[in-house]
Amino acid sequence: MVAIGALAALVGAVGLLRLPDFYTRAHAAGVTDTLGAIGILAGLAVLSPDVLVALKLLVVLIVALFASPAACHALARAAFRTGLRPVLDGDKLPPAGPGE
């Protein structure tokens, strides 16, 4: 589980480097950050020999499940409200003909 969480975090880091604008980067970071935290914290809770430590890790996991998406949304909303617009490539489909 820890390795899966670390792999998710690595994929998120690659996404931050490869994606074109702030909003896609924020989405990639938010999703993979949450998935990585789930994997790493759940794996550490399973591997922990102490029950109290495992419970604390699970509490941190539950807090991260709510805090990470909320923080990502707040960051994206603040960026949009200050005037940062997403990069849009336009529609790559041909125009619709009559009857479509």
Cα 23 from Cα 91, distance rounded (Å):
18
CA distances (Å), 73 to each of 14, 30, 50, 69, 76, in order? 21, 9, 35, 6, 5
Give 60's Cβ-side CA count (13 Å radius). Answer: 15
Q: What is the pLDDT of residue 6?
A: 93
Give this prediction's pTM: 0.75
C-alpha pair distances (Å), 18 with each of 21, 45, 69, 82:
9, 32, 21, 24
Q: Print pLDDT tens along the chain (100 aa).
A: 999 999 999 998 998 899 888 999 999 989 998 999 999 999 999 999 999 999 999 999 999 999 999 999 999 999 999 999 888 776 676 777 776 5
